[in-house]
Amino acid sequence: MNWKLLLPLGLFGPLMGALVVLGVLPEGSDRFVWFAVVALCAFLCARRERKRALLHGAVTGFWNGASATMAQALFFETTVRNNPILVERFAGQPSGFDLEFFMFMLVPFIGVAGGAMTGLLAMVLARVLPGRDAPGNGETTP
């Protein structure tokens, strides 16, 4: 595992979680920011770890997705206060539905989904993009 690659990329998850908790992102814009984060992480994993792009992308995506969702769940009151649309979307749920518990339950699922998307995109990019250690160009990675 290339920890020099994974550690900086792993900061995106807590950062995104904090942005959502604080209500900094306008309603509906978080999906576009997440797309940029996934694309950037996948691209960097594909360029720096061509042979293990899937692994590095999956680990990065899992951590980012899970940590962002965990931040939102841990700071539930602040998240709800700064994102009233969240409460509106779940207002029609049956009695006894606990939104805070639901957010905690989402953590592993969002992590797996983020890991799958980032890892698969990294794998595809590693095969498509020309790289330093592509066969036939005589260069190797350090």
pLDDT digits (tens, 9 = 90+) for 87-128: 899 988 998 999 999 999 999 999 999 999 999 999 999 999
Mean pLDDT of 24-43: 95
Is the pTM of the predicted complex or chain greater than 0.95? Answer: no
Residues spanned by the domain of 48: 11-20+27-91+98-128
81: in domain = yes
Confidence of residue 137 (pLDDT cuts 50, 70, 90): very low
| Strand spans (E) along 67-108 | none
Q: Check: CB of residue 140 under 8 Å from CB of residue 132.
A: yes
Rounded CA-CA distance 121/51 in Å is 14
Supply the pLDDT for residue 131. 67
Supply the pLDDT for residue 87. 87
138: in domain = no
Phi, psi of 88 (to 5 degrees): -60, -40
Q: Check: CB of residue 13 under 8 Å from CB of residue 68.
A: yes
Q: Quick count: other Cβ atoms within 10 Å of Cβ 15?
A: 16
135: in domain = no
- Give the whole-number percent of the chain exceeding pLDDT 90: 82
109: in domain = yes
141: in domain = no
Number of domains in the chain: 1
